[in-house]
Amino acid sequence: MLKLLRHLMLRPSFRRAPPPPLGYVGGTIDRASEHRTDDAFLAGAALDPAARSYVVAGEMIVLHRVDAGYDALFDLDRAAGIGVARERAFLGLEGRAPRFATLIDAVTTETQATYPDVFVSDLRSIAMQGLVPPGQLAGLATAKALMHWHATHRFCSACGTPTRLGLAGWKRDCPSCQAEHFPRTDPVVIMLVTRGERCLLCRQARFPPGMWSCLAGFVEPGETFEDAVRRETREEAGVAVGRVRYLASQPWPFPMSVMVGCIAEGLSELLTVDTSELLGARWVARRDAALMLSRSHPDQSFCPPPTALAHHLIRAFVEGRRL
């Protein structure tokens, strides 16, 4: 009875609140891929006064200050003037307004002097601090992943010849061997392993002090997502996994992945932690996971913020959602 009461007391605050938004999703750009081969449309779109571009400088994102905070969209001329423009891709239409992504080399000190309102940051920080509206975060995720691919695929992997941008920025063509290269998205499984009233959380070396999250790893060739969940959990924590259920996915432009979020059933409890991958792993009771999610755990340990898919996996467990 006491257990049930405690259980019910813990849940209401999560039950009543709508789920907070996941980062990098919910964009309103219609990719309008039918226009990618329409040169006349693309030329007109670039001249449209409503056209705007996200600007990516290597691994960094360029913003400009506006009254209410920051804006990630630039006029096309200005986008190309911020640094040496290497590539430009047509992302689609937002309403009727064309949206592009521009890849530049870097923002120089001269540019910063010319445009003192220009601000450069990494995408994780922009997301964590909520510097831009959620819709722009989704656009930035697409722009960053696509521009990273262009920046790292300048040469044909078949014959070594420099490649050229094609399909309005959605492929690269080799003028020598005619090979076509398309943007890659690397799947990563991220899983909350549960066993009864407990879930398995881990700490990686790159986590801030006190943060615990889900296990995760790249899907290997020849694997299903379920296979990858089982292999990674066995390799990293020594735990066997039975049933695996999909919950949600999230674009993860670091540099160009998609996170596949799963809830997995642990079949064993003994942990054998791979210390080359993890600082530690532990089974966490549901009530402790709830306190870690709300950042009110007495030992100061906490879970990732709502922008991360891990938060939503742990939240689904805390809320007792059946999958």
Residues that bind Zn ion (CB under 5 A): 156, 158-159, 161, 174, 176-177, 179
Q: Which is nearer to Zn ion, 20 or 160 (CB)?
A: 160
In the complex, what is the shortest distance from the CB of residue 159 to Zn ion, in angstroms, rounded to a whole number? 3
Biggest alpha carbon distance in the chain?
74
Nearer CB in complex with Zn ion: 156/316:
156
Q: Are 260 and 189 in contact (CB under 8 A)?
A: yes
Q: What are phi and psi of 181, to 5 degrees?
A: -120, 130
| Of 121, 124, 298, the residue nearest 208 (C-alpha) | 124
DSSP SS3 for 191: strand
Q: How far is the CB of 175 from Zn ion (least distance, A)?
A: 8
Nearer to Zn ion, 167 or 278 (CB): 167
Count how many residues are written for the chain: 323
Rounded CA gap, 213 and 233, in Å?
13
Residue 184 C-beta: closest distance to Zn ion, Å: 17
DSSP class of residue 28 equals -
Q: Look at residues 314, 107, 9 and name the one whose alpha carbon lies nearest to residue 190.
A: 314
Task: Give CA–CA dist 301/289, Å, rounded.
Answer: 9
Q: How far is the CB of 149 from Zn ion (least distance, A)?
A: 17
The H or E element that residue 151 is part of is: helix 134-152
| CA distance readout (Å), 290 to 187, 245, 249, 263, 309 | 28, 21, 22, 16, 16
To the nearest whole angstrom, how small is the minimum distance from the Cβ of residue 183 to Zn ion? 17
- Distance, CA of 175 to CA of 292 (rounded, Å): 54
Local structure of 135: helix, strand or coil: helix
Query: If you ran DSSP here, which 8-state letter would residue 298 be given?
Result: T
Work out how close the CB of 161 gets to Zn ion at its nearest, in angstroms, rounded to a whole number: 5
Buried b / exposed e over 252-280, threshold 16 CB at 10 Å, is bbbebbbbbbbbbebeeeebebeeebbee
Find the shortest distance in angstroms from Cβ 154 to Zn ion. 12
Nearest of 193, 182, 63, 74 to residue 131 by alpha carbon: 63
Smallest distance from Zn ion to CB 86, Å: 20
Coil vs helix vs strand at 62: strand
